[in-house]
Structure 1
Amino acid sequence: MSALELVKKRYSVRQYEERPVEEEKLQKILEAGRVAPSAKNNQPSRLIVVREKESLAKLKKGANVYGAPLAIIVAGDHQAAWVRPYDNKNSVDIDASIVADHIILAATELGLGTLWVCYFDPVVIRQEFNLPAHIEPINILGVGYAAGEAKSPDRHNEARKPLNEIVVWESY
Structure 2
Amino acid sequence: MEFLELIEKRYSVRAYKPDDIEDEKLNTVLEAARLAPTAANYQPFQIIIIHTKGHENELNRIYPAGWFVQPPIIIGICAVRDKAWTRKDGKNFMDIDATIVMDHIILAATSVGLGTCWIGAFDAAAAKETLKLPEGVEPVLFTSLGYPADKPGTKERKNLSELVRYEHW
- Which TM-score band (shorter chain)? over 0.9
Question: Displacement, 1:68?
Answer: 2.0
> What does 1:1-172 align with in structure 2 at a 5 Å threshold?
1-63=1-63, 64=65, 65=68, 67-85=70-88, 87-148=89-150, 150-151=151-152, 155-156=154-155, 159-170=156-167
SS at match of 2:31: helix
Structure 2 residues without counterparts, runs of 5 or longer: none
Letter in 1 for 2:7: V
1:31 Cα deviation from its structure 2 partner: 0.7
Query: Matched residues in 2 for 1:77 and 1:48: separation?
Result: 13
What whole-Å deviation, never above 9, does each CA across 1:101-123 have from its counterpart, x for those lacking one? 00100000000011000010000
Deviation by residue 1:68-91 (Cα, 9 ceiling, x = unmatched): 221101000001000011x21110
CA contact (8 A) 1:50 1:56 kept: no
Whole-Å separation in 2 of the counterparts to 1:94 and 1:139: 11
5+ residue gaps in structure 1?
none
Q: TM-score, normalised by structure 2?
A: 0.93
Provide the C-alpha distance between the structure 2 equivalents of 1:48 and 1:58, rounded to a whole number of angstroms.
14
Question: What amino acid is the match of 1:113?
Answer: G
Counterpart CA distance in 1 for 2:158 and 2:52 is 40
Structure number with higher helix proportion: 2
What's the TM-score, normalizing by structure 1?
0.91
| Number of equivalenced pairs | 165
| Deviation of the 1:21 alpha carbon | 1.1
Q: Distance in 2 between matches of 1:106 and 1:26?
A: 9
RMSD: 1.4
The answer as to whether partners of 1:14 and 1:66 remain within 8 angstroms in 2 is no
Measure, in 1, the Cα distance between the counterparts of 2:9 and 2:2.
10
**4+ residue stretches of structure 1 with deviation over 3 A?**
54-57
Looking at structure 2, the residues matched to 95 and 165 of structure 1 have their Cα atoms a distance apart, in angstroms, of 26
Q: CA deviation at 1:52?
A: 4.7
Percent identical residues: 42
